[in-house]
């Protein structure tokens, strides 16, 4: 609910969504959470002996949580696409001052949608929770969802603040680093999931089916050479995330500070 309100207000202030659409999404989210928040939380309650019907109902409400913010993001994306096109008279397309703040926010929507919904689908029902809870697939969902839901939102707000205090001329240099940071953070996280968390999680689930849940959680499984190899395979993703994601954003922030001090 907090994220929805924050993104809706930010998009409205950027002028990429209408006020009525922002208000509708906020109310829709409030109604959804107030009506189904407790029910949606119940998808975590398999280990307390919940019935299949309860788990199914909870999974449905939990999956619906992402709908309002997704609709708002799609509305803003349509506006951005229309703004970035040339008119019939051949006039140049209009520049969008807060382009990267929007893209970070849009990127968080995609990451959250994939991390919270698609990667979480297996643990939304009883069978999935029986096999998956506490495995690497849970971390797979958690990493993508956490950075998607809050990490990218934080980056969007940072970029929004940096752009807001600089003129178009001052923005040229920091924007180059922010562009690199955007792709570094997204590519780094995607590689982390693809090269390590997802394949190790699949292997762990397979071990659960073959040898039992206890074995898949033991050092005997985690210490296998193939698992260690996949852990090392994730190193490039961490390097990209830090060197091309975090460092450029720090540099852009430093440049912005120096330009403000100079002014």
Task: Determine whether 147 is exposed, middle or buried from the number of CB atoms within 10 Å of its CB (0-12, 13-18, 19+).
Answer: buried
Q: How far is CA 18 from CA 1, 14, 25, 30, 104, in A?
A: 19, 10, 11, 19, 20
Report pLDDT digits (tens) over 123-174. 555 555 666 777 888 888 778 778 877 888 889 889 988 998 998 889 999 9
Report pLDDT digits (tens) over 16-74. 788 888 888 888 888 877 777 778 777 777 777 777 788 788 878 877 777 777 777 77
pTM: 0.70
| The two three-digit tokens of residue 92, written as one number | 């140049």
CB 137, CB 204: distance < 8 Å: yes
Q: Which of 8-12, 98-102, 214-218 has the highest mean pLDDT?
A: 214-218
**pLDDT at 250 (0 to 100):** 96
């Amino acid at each position: 609910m907090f994220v929805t309100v924050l993104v809706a207000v930010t998009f409205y202030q950027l002028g990429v969504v209408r006020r009525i659409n922002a208000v509708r999404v906020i109310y829709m989210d409030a109604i959804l959470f107030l009506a189904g928040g407790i029910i949606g939380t119940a998808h975590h309650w398999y280990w307390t002996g919940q019935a299949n019907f309860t788990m199914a109902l909870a999974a449905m409400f939990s999956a619906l949580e992402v709908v309002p913010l997704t609709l708002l993001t799609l509305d803003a994306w349509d506006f951005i696409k229309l703004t970035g096109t040339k008119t019939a008279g051949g006039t140049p397309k209009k520049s969008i001052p807060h382009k990267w703040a929007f893209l970070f926010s849009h990127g968080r929507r995609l990451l959250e949608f994939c991390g919270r919904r698609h990667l979480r689908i297996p643990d939304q029902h009883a069978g999935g929770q029986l096999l998956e809870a506490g495995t690497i697939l849970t971390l797979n969902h958690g990493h993508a969802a956490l950075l998607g839901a809050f990490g990218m939102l934080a980056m969007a707000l940072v970029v929004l603040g940096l752009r807001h205090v600089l003129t178009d001329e001052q923005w040229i240099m920091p924007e180059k680093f922010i562009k690199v940071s955007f792709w570094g953070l997204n590519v780094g996280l995607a590689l982390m999931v693809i090269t390590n968390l997802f394949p190790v999680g699949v292997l762990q689930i397979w071990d659960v089916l073959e040898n039992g849940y206890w074995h898949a959680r033991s050092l005997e499984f985690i210490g296998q050479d193939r698992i260690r190899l996949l852990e090392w395979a994730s190193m490039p993703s961490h390097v990209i995330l830090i060197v091309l994601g975090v460092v450029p954003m720090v540099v852009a922030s430093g440049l912005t500070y120096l330009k403000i001090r100079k002014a």
